[in-house]
Amino acid sequence: MAPPTDADALLTAARAGDRGTLARLISLVERGGAAAHEVGRTAHLQGGQAYTIGVTGAPGAGKSTLTSALVRHLRADGDRVAVLAVDPSSPFTGGAILGDRVRMGDHALDEGVYIRSMATRGHLGGLALATPEAVRVLDAAGFPWVVIETVGVGQVEVEIAGAADTTVVVVNPGWGDAVQANKAGLMEIADVFVINKADRPGAAETRRDLEGMLALSSGAGGDGSWRPPVVATVAVDGQGADDLWAEIRRHRAHLESSGALARRRADRLGDEVRRILTARLLERATAATGGARFADLCGDVAARRLDPWSAADELLAGS
């Protein structure tokens, strides 16, 4: 057996409930670089048990309030849960994160709940690379459930939410909200829809819009075997949270019994390897020949002295 590494010792401490160490591990993977890779390597081999739930939707849709209600259900079942609030806009702590702390405040003293905000902070691959690494750490630290909250604007955030085992898309009543969600690409990633703030007028119309759009699409997963349900909630007073929880569990059971869960996870890991490989190749091709060589060749391509394929071949050959 390989001798224990630093990452090993840190993950063992995190698994034993040391929150300071857990926070440190996530900061490490957020920063990227060699230490982050070491943690990722060790955590990957120890994990594979956590079930991830993505919660996404427009700013202010009620994602954090709803997440807090979900956490309450999980805790009632006795399960430990981690929440990652992904905030792409804030370099460190913005108002939104502060808001999340307050809204999830009911769980602040609960040892079985771990809440963490993620920001870009200049990580090389940004949130797209840092978030799966943080999930990996939480998985290895023994959390059976990880909820990932992202604002559903921008390709990266939609991608992050869509990479969960079950993705919950939150919309609000009101003209055009469902149409906006569709435009943002949320329709394809939704496994469960929530119409939150159902105490406001227009919930029935929004449901009709969503169901109309769903009838036209094949739904997440694309094989047509799962039709995303639409749940109405009033997150502020917990109304509908049981229905949402029941649908998430039903979706999980569907993925497990059909074999789709293992397939989805394998596909996701394949994508990750591809992303890393692409980044590495680009790094190597540009580093070995120097940034100037890259710029020169691009100049030749722009001047039509060279075609893009040959330029790429030359860079790879020199790497």
Q: Note whether 117 binds ligand GTP by CB under 6 A.
A: no
Give the position of tokens 């090993």. Answer: 8
How do 192-196 and 51-57 pair as beta strands? unpaired
Position closest to Mg ion via CB: 64
Size of the site for ligand GTP (CB under 6 A): 18
Contacts of 176 (CB under 8 A, 6+ apart): none
Q: Which is nearer to ligand GTP, 40 or 240 (CB)?
A: 240
DSSP, collapsed to helix, strand or coil, labels residue 306 as coil
List the single partner that 60 binds among Mg ion, ligand GTP, none, CB under 5 to 8 Å by kind.
ligand GTP
Binding test (CB under 6 A) with ligand GTP, winner from 35, 179, 236, 298: 236
* Widest Cα–Cα separation across the chain: 67
Binding test (CB under 6 A) with ligand GTP, winner from 96, 156, 260, 301: 96
Binding test (CB under 6 A) with ligand GTP, winner from 61, 138, 146, 231: 61
Q: Note whether 207 binds ligand GTP by CB under 6 A.
A: no
Kind and range of the H or E element at 210?
helix 203-216
Shortest distance in whole angstroms from residue 152 CB to ligand GTP: 9
List the single partner that 236 binds among ligand GTP, Mg ion, none, CB under 5 to 8 Å by kind.
ligand GTP
Q: Tell which phi-psi region holds residue 198, choosing left (phi > 0), alpha (psi between -120 and 50) or beta.
A: alpha
Binding test (CB under 6 A) with ligand GTP, winner from 4, 33, 59, 290: 59
Q: Note whether 199 binds ligand GTP by CB under 6 A.
A: yes
Binding test (CB under 6 A) with ligand GTP, winner from 4, 33, 48, 60: 60
Contacts of 271 (CB under 8 A, 6+ apart): none
- Token pair in block for residue 125: 């691959």
Shortest distance in whole angstroms from residue 138 CB to ligand GTP: 20
Binding test (CB under 6 A) with ligand GTP, winner from 46, 52, 64, 167: 64
For residue 168, count other CB atoms closer than 10 A to its CB: 29
| Candidate segments 36-44, 61-69, 293-301, 303-311, binder of ligand GTP by CB under 6 A | 61-69
Which letter does DSSP use for residue 234 in this model?
B
Q: Which is nearer to ligand GTP, 99 or 185 (CB)?
A: 99
Q: Note whether 64 binds Mg ion by CB under 5 A.
A: yes
Footprint on residues 127-186 left by ligand GTP (CB under 6 A): 151
Short-list 45, 66, 46, CA closest to 55: 66
| Candidate segments 2-10, 63-71, 157-165, 213-221, binder of ligand GTP by CB under 6 A | 63-71
DSSP, collapsed to helix, strand or coil, labels residue 175 as coil
Q: Which is nearer to ligand GTP, 52 or 196 (CB)?
A: 196
Q: Note whether 65 binds Mg ion by CB under 5 A.
A: no
Q: Which is nearer to ligand GTP, 39 or 231 (CB)?
A: 231
DSSP, collapsed to helix, strand or coil, labels residue 47 as coil
Q: How far is CA 43 from the centre of its chain?
A: 17
Sign of the alpha-carbon torsion through 270, 273, 275, 277: negative
Short-list 43, 53, 42, 66, CA closest to 261: 53
What count of Cα atoms within 13 Å lies in the side-chain half-sphere of residue 180? 17
Footprint of ligand GTP (CB under 6 A) = 59-65, 96, 99, 103, 151, 196-197, 199-200, 234-236
